[in-house]
Amino acid sequence: MNDVTGPPDRLSIFSTGVEFFVTPELQIADAWSVALDYSLLINSRTIDGSAGRWEFTSQTQLPTAMVHYLVGGSGYWLKAGGGLGYHWMTLRERFVTVGSETDFTASGIGLKLDAVANTAFDSHLLGSVAVELRWSSLGTLRAANGSPLQYLGREVNMDFYSAGVKFGLTYQL
């Protein structure tokens, strides 16, 4: 989005967002599991610039097929792994000052690496803490008519990387 706003209205290089996720997983051997991780990453920004006020809201869907190496013990599971998926984003740009609104989309491949620690609350419910790294190559943002979003003659690209910590619950059959 820095290409959209340009100087002097430059955005911070790093930002925060909220992610909702679910990861059904199947243990296929003593030390291996496969999973389908689905995450929805939501981010919004408001910029009050010299030309007016812009609001950007993005939703990125990140389904990823995963493989994990497992280490289990009495009352805990540790796992580490990675995977590949096809990701897509919708970005809504609102130029509040003039009341215009445009939706753009981008899509491409993504990679994820993670390490997860699960500790048992009882025989089926576990608390989960995960550390993850992602890289997504979503390419150029395009409007519904196929035209690319441009700033100063350059197409706006939405490739990104992210790092995060997740807290959750795991239900084990």
Mean pLDDT, each 10-residue run in order, the chain (173 residues): 46 72 93 97 84 87 98 92 97 87 95 96 91 96 91 85 89 83
H/E segment holding residue 135: strand 125-136
pLDDT at 24: 94
Q: What was the pLDDT predicted at 17?
A: 80
Distance CA 54, CA 63 (A): 29
Residue 142: strand pairing partners:
105, 148
Q: Other C-beta atoms within 10 Å of 127: how many?
A: 14
pLDDT of residue 139: 93
Would you state the structure tokens that stand for residue 52, as one six-digit string? 């007016």
CB atoms within 10 A of CB 52: 11
Residue 112: in which H helix or E strand, if any?
Answer: strand 100-120
Beta bridge partners of 87: 108
Assign domain 2-166 to a CATH class. Answer: mainly beta
DSSP 4-57: HH-TTSPPPS----EEEEE--EEEEETTEEEEEEEEEEEEEEEEEETTEEEEEE
Amino acid at 108: G
- Give the pLDDT confidence score for residue 8 in this predicted structure: 40
The pTM of the whole model exceeds 0.95? no
* Closest-CA residue to 111 (of 141, 136, 139, 130): 136
